[in-house]
């Protein structure tokens, strides 16, 4: 019984904290330091990232791994918000970026966060570099990059906003390109060989690893039409 009450109190406290942050977020621009000091579950719905960014772009990275893309952010042009579910990678990245006020990382699902924590038409680009391919047939249902995901993200993207997915897994590239075909009324879709410099991105840990294995890379780029 005691344990039960403790859990209820925890949940109520969490809810109230989120509520206060959400209300504050409408009237005040949350400081970078405030957003750095909270965890994924404490993020208000939504966070007004566009206010944090000011006249800079809002860029999101799902699966930030070792944090190379976050670290390469140009603070004068954009803010970058990364998500990583593995605690080791999250902690590694958090340590590297903790003194910067243009990059953020949270330990939680980037797919979920895009739905919960962003206002409409606030995001310039979503990067998903080398997502887990779920290559076993019985696992393919777990793949989160589907036409439904693309439709949901469209609401959060600005006009001409983009989603860039890069994979070394040929079958996964075909799967994603096929899903993208279902949303051509919303997006301009381009499928082509990936080159990091073309997108102004660094070579990430997994990119480097798959270069050593002699793999080829496909970029699936969706650009919102309206
Ligand atoms: C193959 S690694 C690629 C990491 C990095 N992008 C790179 O290129 O080196 C895929 C990463 O996505 C992370 N990941 C998987 N699902 C995720 C999710 N729902 N939200 C955030 N990160 C996720 C995994 O923990 C893993 O670190």
Per-residue pLDDT tens digits for 11-56:
888 788 777 766 766 666 678 888 988 999 999 889 999 999 999 9
Distance CA 58, CA 89 (A): 22
Range of the domain at 199: 50-224
- On whether residue 87 sits in a domain, the answer given is yes
Q: What is the pLDDT of residues 55-74, one digit of tens each?
A: 999 999 999 999 999 999 99
What DSSP string describes 155-203? Answer: HHEEEEEEEEEEES-HHHHHHHHHHHHTTTTTEEEEEEE--GGGGT-PP
132 C-alpha to ligand 1 centroid (Å): 7
Mean predicted confidence (pLDDT) in 82-98 = 97
Strands 123-129, 103-106: pairing is: unpaired
In ligand 1, which atom is closest to the CA atom of 208? 9
In a domain, 128, yes or no: yes
Let me know if residue 28 belongs to a domain.
no
Q: Tell which phi-psi region holds residue 177, choosing left (phi > 0), alpha (psi between -120 and 50) or beta.
A: alpha
User: In the prediction, which pLDDT does 142 show?
Assistant: 82
Domain of 70, CATH number, reads 3.40.50.150
Is residue 65 within 6 Å of ligand 1 at its C-beta?
yes
Handedness of CA 183, 143, 122, 100 (dihedral sign): negative
Residue 106, ligand 1, Cβ within 6 A: no
Q: Is 132 one of the catalytic residues?
A: yes
Structure tokens, 198: 């073309």
Residue 73 lies in a domain: yes
For residue 2, pLDDT over 70 is answered with no
How many domains does the chain contain in total? 1
Q: Cα separation of 180 and 204, whole Å?
A: 24
Q: What is the pLDDT of residues 137-187, one digit of tens each?
A: 766 778 999 999 999 999 999 999 999 999 999 999 999 999 999 999 999
pLDDT, tens digit (0-9, with 9 covering 90-100), for 183-209: 999 999 999 999 999 999 999 999 999
In a domain, 42, yes or no: no
Q: Tokens 């977020």 appear where?
A: 25
On whether residue 11 sits in a domain, the answer given is no
In a domain, 114, yes or no: yes
Domain for residue 37, yes or no? no
């Amino acid at each position: 019984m005691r344990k039960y009450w403790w859990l209820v109190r925890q949940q109520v406290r969490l809810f109230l904290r989120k509520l206060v942050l959400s209300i504050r977020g409408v009237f005040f621009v949350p400081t970078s330091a405030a957003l750095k000091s909270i965890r994924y579950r404490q993020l208000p719905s939504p966070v007004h990232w566009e206010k944090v960014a000011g006249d800079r772009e809002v860029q999101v990275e799902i699966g930030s791994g070792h944090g190379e893309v976050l670290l390469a952010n140009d603070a004068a042009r954009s803010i970058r918000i990364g998500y990583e579910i593995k605690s080791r990678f999250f902690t590694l990245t958090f340590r590297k970026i903790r003194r910067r006020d243009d990059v953020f990382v949270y330990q939680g699902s980037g797919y979920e966060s895009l739905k919960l924590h962003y206002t409409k038409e606030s995001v310039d680009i979503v990067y998903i570099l080398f997502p887990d391919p779920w290559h076993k047939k019985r696992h393919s249902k777990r793949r989160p990059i589907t036409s439904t995901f693309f439709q949901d993200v469209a609401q959060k993207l600005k006009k001409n906003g983009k989603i860039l997915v890069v994979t070394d897994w040929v079958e996964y590239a075909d799967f994603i390109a096929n899903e993208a075909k279902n949303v051509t009324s919303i997006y301009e879709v381009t499928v082509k060989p990936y080159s990091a410099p073309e997108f102004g991105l660094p070579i990430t840990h997994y990119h480097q690893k798959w270069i050593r294995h002699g793999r080829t890379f496909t970029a699936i780029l969706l650009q919102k039409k309206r």
